[in-house]
Amino acid sequence: MKNNTHLPDDSALNVMDGIASSHDGMSATVRKRFVKKDRTIPVEELTEKISNGSRLHLAKGITLLESITPADKIAGQQVLLNLLPKTGNSIRIGITGVPGAGKSTFIEAFGLMLANAGHHVAVLAIDPSSTITGGSILGDKTRMEELARHPGAFIRPSPTAGTLGGVHKKSRETMLLCEAAGYDVILIETVGVGQSETVVRGMVDFFMLLVLTGAGDELQGMKKGIMELVDGIIVHKADGDNLKLAKKTVREYRQLLHFLQPASLGWTPTSLPVSSIKLTGLEEVWETVLAFKATMDTNTFWAERRQSQTKDWFRSMINDRLIDTFFAEPGRKEQVAELEQALLKGDITVAGAVERLFLG
Amino acid sequence: MKNNTHLPDDSALNVMDGIASSHDGMSATVRKRFVKKDRTIPVEELTEKISNGSRLHLAKGITLLESITPADKIAGQQVLLNLLPKTGNSIRIGITGVPGAGKSTFIEAFGLMLANAGHHVAVLAIDPSSTITGGSILGDKTRMEELARHPGAFIRPSPTAGTLGGVHKKSRETMLLCEAAGYDVILIETVGVGQSETVVRGMVDFFMLLVLTGAGDELQGMKKGIMELVDGIIVHKADGDNLKLAKKTVREYRQLLHFLQPASLGWTPTSLPVSSIKLTGLEEVWETVLAFKATMDTNTFWAERRQSQTKDWFRSMINDRLIDTFFAEPGRKEQVAELEQALLKGDITVAGAVERLFLG
């Protein structure tokens, strides 16, 4: 599993990581000063330190990749390019679920189990509203306190700036940097805003959905087709009075999954009951992930999926760039809005509207 | 339902329609001659004749819209623009299903029932491999013989040229032209190649899936998430020895649909058994469509969906144009292919590859 034998050598810097992980709540001034300090580290040094597992430098590298300053972006890309040969050696797990399903509690329990077993666990979020930051109501205090203090774990909240497309790009690069720093399990949380589930499915090997008891009913708020994106469904809070119902729900989901097309060729998605309070079912989840990897390895789907994910990422970035450039032209948005109004009134055909955009 | 009181006045031209509908099998010379003859009709005359329900002129108008000749395209767009005020007054029904589910048999039986009840029924296909043309093995002979001969029906095979995006555009325009010609029920068939189901879902009001007995198992070949795109599932060939099993399958699908997010706000998709041989269940399908329309009308979802479909169509055509233009530049495809190889080898980052494409 783990092919980086080093252990993080900077546990004394955990407090610093805590700052790096939660600086979204800082004033702009404090943040600016913090970022400024990063810039003084040369690319070569940053590359080496990240490669040696320094969480402080990993956080700094990620900050460079997330920066909107051209110089930072160039430096960040250079660090990433240097580290590319060290990437890819992790199991990438996506975690989604309805609000209230207990995603952060699960990630804390699951991550701690893995970290205590010697794994290096990185936790990332794909969207600004994810629970990793604890939400604005709770301020900077992360909900995954114990995991955040563990020397084998690294927690990074989602970049708050930019479109989902931008966050997507940054989260992928963050994932690669974490792998280069020796993290062999990457947990990526998403709350399912807009297209984020599809984005995360396109980034990970194993995609799991957290639900509560009562199959189906609570999926109303989820993205359509979510059931056919997942490799496993965890029925969470399977403890106490809820245990019996949770087991029934697991059976219902297994039956349902049988009817649907599997997300990963050759793997029949399954459902498992988990309690993050009683710490039951967590090992079974990990065993399922390992069984999944073994299956995927035999049919070469693992490597092929990662290759096709990289290609899709490239294509979608080309697409985004073309659209962004087009709509960034002065007056373009207004022009499109006017044409849309004309379309809805029946004053113009769609083909005519497109011609008007492109031929003058 | 029907707000065009005229009846097709050109039933004597059915044979001509037959030619127009099946000229894909003609030699290029014959086809060219046929198209050439169309050009002589002025736009105003074509507009008026289509508006009066002439199937011959409707077929000619569609041919203009499908043409790749600039002059034809301009004429076709002008006819469409003239007729836009008369469009939109139909129920648009999408029909998809696994191969062998009997889509053409169903469309023939369902279409005949509606046409005999006084509806004007247009049948279109979204992809070249659809059953409407009868497939190349059967040559030009359409499978929907009786419906094709009915004076209240118009059958148009899919344009064979171009990408799905192009076919998509043409099929939408064809649909509008049929509406302007007084067709109040549009049936759009798709066989589910690639993205075609999503495309059809984005064109129609009611989207139905045809399946055979044995819920789930035969959905393996379908697009992921298809179950959550549909407003109704028809279990076909519900007759003879198969009837009991079909009814059981209907119950299974109803249970399954309960778990999934509905495709149309406020409408719980249902499942119905149908036999196109015994002609049972067809009226129930139509009643379901009407009940669906009544539900959608009360919550304004019907009109809103059509508006958002038109906007999406416009956006996707802008997107397609940008991509097409970009990849049409000399050497572009080769450059992207080279960068993809470098990406997979880890010689370059995705962001770096994109920069190289856009900054030289």
- Can you list the domains of chain B with their CATH numbers? 86-298 (3.40.50.300), 305-358 (1.10.287.130)
Average pLDDT, chain B: 82
Q: What is the pLDDT of residue B252?
A: 86
Residues of A in contact with B310 (CB under 8 A): 343-344, 350
Q: What is the pLDDT of residue A359?
A: 79
Residues of A in contact with B314 (CB under 8 A): 339-340, 343, 350, 353-354
Determine, for residues A311 and B225 on separate chains, whether the beta-carbon distance falls below 8 Å.
Answer: no
Q: How far is B47 from chain A (nearest CA, A)?
A: 15
Determine, for residues B228 and A224 on separate chains, whether the beta-carbon distance falls below 8 Å.
Answer: yes
Taking CA atoms, B7 is separated from A58, B16, B55, B111, B181, in Å, by 74, 18, 11, 16, 10
Which of B87, B249, B318 has the most A C-beta neighbours within 10 Å, making it the best mutation to test the interface with A? B318
Higher pLDDT among residues A3 and B113, named by residue: B113
Choose among A224, A319, A344: nearest Cβ to B310. A344
Q: What is the pLDDT of residue B82?
A: 94
Residues of B in contact with A340 (CB under 8 A): 311, 314
Confidence of residue B175 (pLDDT cuts 50, 70, 90): very high
Contact B267, B292 (CB under 8 A): yes
Q: What is the pLDDT of residue A166?
A: 57
Q: What is the pLDDT of residue B191?
A: 74
A303 at B interface, C-beta within 8 A: no
Does pLDDT of A252 surpass 60? yes
Q: What is the pLDDT of residue B224?
A: 66
Q: What is the pLDDT of residue A3?
A: 42
B43 at A interface, C-beta within 8 A: no
Q: What is the pLDDT of residue B141?
A: 39
Element (H, E) at B156: strand B153-156
Confidence of residue B277 (pLDDT cuts 50, 70, 90): very high
B352 at A interface, C-beta within 8 A: yes
Q: What is the pLDDT of residue B67?
A: 85
Confidence of residue B142 (pLDDT cuts 50, 70, 90): low
Residue percentage of chain B with pLDDT more than 70: 77
Min mean pLDDT across A42-51, A99-108, A208-217, A226-235 is at A208-217
Q: Among candidates B169, B157, B106, B98, which has minimal Cα distance to B128?
A: B157
Does pLDDT of A355 surpass 70? yes
Does pLDDT of A137 surpass 70? no
Q: What is the pLDDT of residue B217?
A: 61
Residues of B in contact with A256 (CB under 8 A): 256, 259
Structure tokens at B176: 């509008």
Average pLDDT, chain A: 82
3-state secondary structure chain A: CCCCCCCCCCHHHHHHHHHHHHHHHCCHHHHHHHHHHHCCCCHHHHHHHHHCCCHHHHHHHHHHHHCCCHHHHHHHHHHHHHHHHHCCCCEEEEEEECCCCCHHHHHHHHHHHHHHCCCCEEEEECCCCCHHHCCCCCCCCCCCHHHHHCCCEEEECCCCCCCHHHHHHHHHHHHHHHHHCCCCEEEEECCCCCCHHHHHHCCCCEEEEEECCCCCHHHCCCCCCHHHCCCEEEECCCCHHHHHHHHHHHHHHHHHHHHCCCCCCCCCCEEEECECCCCECHHHHHHHHHHHHHHHHHCCHHHHHHHHHHHHHHHHHHHHHHHHHHHHCCCHHHHHHHHHHHHHHCCCCHHHHHHHHHCC
Q: What is the pLDDT of residue A9?
A: 43
Choose among B172, B348, B357: nearest Cβ to A318. B357
Choose among B256, B323, B354: nearest Cβ to A256. B256
Q: What is the pLDDT of residue B139?
A: 35
Determine, for residues A259 and B216 on separate chains, whether the beta-carbon distance falls below 8 Å.
Answer: yes
Given strand A270-273, what is the order of strands in its sheet? A153-156, A121-125, A185-189, A91-97, A206-211, A232-235, A270-273
Higher pLDDT among residues B257 and A335, named by residue: A335
Does pLDDT of B155 surpass 70? yes
B266 at A interface, C-beta within 8 A: no
Confidence of residue A136 (pLDDT cuts 50, 70, 90): very low
Q: What is the pLDDT of residues B202-248, one digit of tens each?
A: 999 999 999 988 755 656 556 667 888 899 999 999 999 999 999 99
Q: What is the pLDDT of residue A216?
A: 59
Show Cβ contacts of residue A136 under 8 Å, excluding neighbours closer than 6 positions: A25
* Residue in chain B lying closest to A343 (CA): B310
Q: What is the pLDDT of residue A266?
A: 86
Determine, for residues B350 and A220 on separate chains, whether the beta-carbon distance falls below 8 Å.
Answer: no
Structure tokens at B325: 């233009």
